[in-house]
Amino acid sequence: MCKDKIMVNMGFTDEKFPAGTHMCLIFSDEEERKKIISKYLDGGYSAGEKVSCFADEMSLDEVKSWLKDMGLKISDNDKTGRFSVARTADTYYPNGIFEPKLMLDNLKDFHTNAKKEGYPASRVTGETSWALKGIPGSDRLMEYEAKVNDILDEYPVTSIC
């Protein structure tokens, strides 16, 4: 159990999970993926958490559009940064190379900043389809996924990859 022992709503189930839960999303098709992820993001946003989504295949505007189509009530006027959408290239491999330590540091910073800003919890979701594109370092994705679990007790960012 995470140090904070905060229980969060994952959005797609009535069961509560400890903040810092790290899940792998398994889905049958794109519509199912969108439905689950939109519920997950809405669960955090509705609870006042700091939320971020890392998109690979869709543009940032396309992501915001499908989230609104799925019923997320994210304010276009929200200047707080409580909800953000970023490109996977800018998040996972900003220098053109995927480096697990850099991404882990980003997750730590995301959680630390969320707590400093007064959010009760933080959550992210990121598409990992970029790893199939031959990005240098993408062969280290499984290493990263395993190491995420090592930091979640101290930096409980709830995440679905």
User: In whole angstroms, how far apart are CA 140 and each of 79, 99, 134?
Assistant: 35, 8, 11
CA distance 48 to 127: 23
CA distance 80 to 12: 26
The DSSP symbol for 15 reads: S
* pLDDT higher than threshold 60 for residue 2: no
What are the tens digits of pLDDT across the range 49-73?
999 999 988 887 888 888 888 887 7
Across residues 105-109, what is the average pLDDT? 96
What ranges do the domains of the chain cover? Answer: 7-160
Mean pLDDT of all residues belonging to the chain: 89
- Put simply, whether the predicted model's pTM sits higher than 0.85 gets the answer yes
Strand-strand pairing, 16-18 and 7-9:
antiparallel
CATH for 7-160, options being 3.40.50.1000, 3.30.70.3040, 3.40.50.300, 3.30.420.40 = 3.40.50.300
CB distance 85 to 63 below 8 Å = yes
